[in-house]
Amino acid sequence: MTSPDSTTDLPEGFTALGLRPAVIATLASLGYEEPTPIQREAVPLLLEGRDVLGQAATGTGKTAAFALPMLERIFGDVPEAGRARAVRALILVPTRELAMQVSEAVHRYGKSYGARVLPVYGGQAIGMQLKALRAGVDVIVATPGRIVDHLRRGSIRLDSVRFVVLDEADEMLDMGFAEDLEAVLDALPAERQTALFSATMAGRVASIAERHLRDPVRIAIDRHRADPGQLPRVRQVAYIVQRRHKVVALGRVLDMENPTSAIVFCRTRTEVDELTETLSGRGYSAEALHGGLSQEQRDRVMRRFRDGVTELLIATDVAARGLDVESVSHVVNFDVPSAPDGYVHRIGRTGRAGREGVAITLAEPREHRQLRNFERVTRQKIQVQTVPTIVDLRARRLEVLRGSLHETLLGGDLEQHRVVVESLAEEFDVLDVAAAAVKLAHEATAGGARDDEAAEEVPSVSPPPDSRSRESRDGRKSRPGRPRRDRATADADVTRIYIGLGRKAGMRPADLVGAIANEAGIDARAIGAVDIADRFSLVEVPDEAVDEIIGALRHTTIRGKRVVVRRDKN
């Protein structure tokens, strides 16, 4: 048996962990090759029947670390036909988002067992859950609040549970589930196996472990420490800027990084809404996620973010708890977290599944010392850099353009365009022709804006550069490698629509852009100028999609109201 203090490396490969051949085959079909450190440590211990207290962040593979041995322990060699219809395993998670994700994972891992898995969470019709429970389930993945509701109703019996998991225990406590957790754990049989996983081991987590786990083996996986000679999974960068310059600094950094998907963290709902509106107005595809959204709105926002429709998710810590999105390329701390644990939670949402992620922090000068605390916790250096200048942005756009041209040349299929080059080459040097083409492409990418217009100084601390940002005439931030609509060139293919709500109804540009993008499935970057009067609004939309947009908006509400929508007659 592995002792709590054992440091011996376990053999590589899932076969060496003691899992059944059928499970190994399932993992192979899912594309799994080698177990992660938390899986190497936890799986053999849980298969032996030991309680485990694991410290591991999101993205370390802990779902498989507890799900694989759990399935083996509760099913073993008992054939599916001979099983009693009783709940045999319970997994508690902080949010419905995580409940659905863990449930799907357990279902995939448990195919060879014929496992019946049910997610139980608030916001879903309880009648559907009751129907599934009556049909019989083996594993329940639940949020604490909803499982307590079922216990009070008498609709769930836990007397047959043999295996219990508390996933992201610190998050559940931070969200106020302490009493619900105690109620659920007290309702479980004393003779059971328990695994508790948490990114941090604060006092309250340790207290629960002491009361409800039996002689647990402690496992600690340092997610952020890179192996010698290897790049870290998460590149951590900080920019020291004054509060009033943060929005402009964020735009510059996003233009340089050009993230495929990013979560931007703010402290308050108001700040989330304001930043979302500002970024949307500058041409970014951004949506807000906070506690003020209904569950339907939250699901829609997350679905669009997962599908890649939304590039930037602007969120509060509470709203983002339990999110498990593998493809997040960047995490941005628009506000510095108040504690190192919060920083660890945030940056743990990037650099997942072997990908390299980026964590960016915009810190005020007085917050510089907190960065040192974050370095001690993550055991990694945070690179303090200066805010990109307009020269940096220009160079970045040219770099992206060069890459696009390189891909186009490798792709071939250029015959129909050669005739233009050949005709010009009779009069000009072919290199000049190519340079002129690059210039046109670069200007189109930059939106036609000049470097010397609408520049705003952004002093950056340590060292303070004289950096300037360029924005286009309509206030939208130019984005590297991303052509956008410009009113000077797009008038021929846009149509203005009239919407019968305006400033007096509280209408904001973000409301209109969001409604059109969400309901009609239109890319937010294709939406042009938004003019809001007291009683109505005018929005420029692509001409080819105008009928679809009008139809979609007539069948929905904006700010809770049905609105008149038509082509603008003037």
Between 16 and 521, the more confident residue is 16
The per-residue pLDDT for 447 is: 40
Q: Are strands 193-198 and 217-220 parallel, antiparallel or unpaired?
A: unpaired
225 located within any domain: no
The per-residue pLDDT for 28 is: 78
Q: pLDDT tens digits for 433-457? A: 777 777 777 666 554 333 333 345 5
Range with top average pLDDT, 157-166, 197-206, 235-244, 346-355? 157-166
Contact 377, 344 (CB under 8 A): yes
The per-residue pLDDT for 162 is: 94
Domain count, the chain: 4
Do both 428 and 349 map to the same domain?
A: no
Do both 251 and 187 map to the same domain?
A: no
Distance CA 13, CA 313 (A): 37
Domain boundary residue among 194, 220, 246?
A: 220
Report residue 194's pLDDT band, with 50, 70 and 90 as the boundaries: very high
Mean pLDDT across 493-519: 82
Mean pLDDT across 398-419: 74
The CB density around residue 8, as the number of other CB atoms within 10 Å, is: 6
The region of weakest confidence among 195-199, 370-374, 381-385 is: 370-374
pLDDT at residue 34 above 80? Answer: no
Do both 240 and 208 map to the same domain?
A: no
Report residue 98's pLDDT band, with 50, 70 and 90 as the boundaries: confident
Do both 513 and 563 map to the same domain?
A: yes
Q: What CATH number does the domain containing 555 carry?
A: 3.30.70.330
Do both 379 and 326 map to the same domain?
A: yes
The per-residue pLDDT for 321 is: 66
The per-residue pLDDT for 393 is: 73
Report residue 59's pLDDT band, with 50, 70 and 90 as the boundaries: low
Between 286 and 487, the more confident residue is 286
Domain, as residue range, for 509: 487-567
Q: What CATH number does the domain containing 287 carry?
A: 3.40.50.300
47 located within any domain: yes
37 located within any domain: yes
CA 190 to chain CA centroid, nearest Å: 38
pLDDT at residue 19 above 50? Answer: yes
Average pLDDT over all residues of the chain: 78
Domain boundary residue among 338, 358, 385?
A: 385
The per-residue pLDDT for 466 is: 35
Tokens of 184: 């659920």
Do both 441 and 554 map to the same domain?
A: no
Report residue 50's pLDDT band, with 50, 70 and 90 as the boundaries: very high
pLDDT at residue 168 above 80? Answer: yes
The CB density around residue 445, as the number of other CB atoms within 10 Å, is: 20
Tokens of 493: 């293919």
Do both 355 and 420 map to the same domain?
A: no
Do both 448 and 333 map to the same domain?
A: no
Mean pLDDT across 309-325: 79
The region of weakest confidence among 37-41, 91-95, 356-360, 506-510 is: 506-510
Tokens of 539: 């929005």
Give me the residues paired with residue 495 across strands: 541
Contact 250, 335 (CB under 8 A): no
Mean pLDDT across 97-111: 87
Do both 70 and 157 map to the same domain?
A: yes
Mean pLDDT across 99-105: 87
Distance CA 439, CA 436 (A): 5
Report residue 4's pLDDT band, with 50, 70 and 90 as the boundaries: very low
Do both 211 and 104 map to the same domain?
A: yes
Distance CA 234, CA 211 (A): 35
Among all chains, which residue has been given the structure tokens 């993205």? 59
The per-residue pLDDT for 477 is: 38
The per-residue pLDDT for 446 is: 53
Contact 178, 204 (CB under 8 A): yes
Mean pLDDT across 520-537: 79
Among all chains, which residue has been given the structure tokens 């996003």? 254
Report residue 53's pLDDT band, with 50, 70 and 90 as the boundaries: very high
The region of weakest confidence among 32-36, 165-169, 258-262, 381-385 is: 32-36
Q: pLDDT tens digits for 345-381? A: 888 888 776 677 899 999 988 787 788 888 887 888 8
Report residue 51's pLDDT band, with 50, 70 and 90 as the boundaries: very high
Reply yes or no: is the peptide bond before residue 216 cis, omega within 30 of 0: no
pLDDT at residue 325 above 70? Answer: yes
Stated as kind and residue range, the H or E segment containing 487 is helix 487-490
475 located within any domain: no
Count, residues in the chain:
570
CA 446 to chain CA centroid, nearest Å: 28
Do both 100 and 121 map to the same domain?
A: yes
Distance CA 73, CA 107 (A): 16
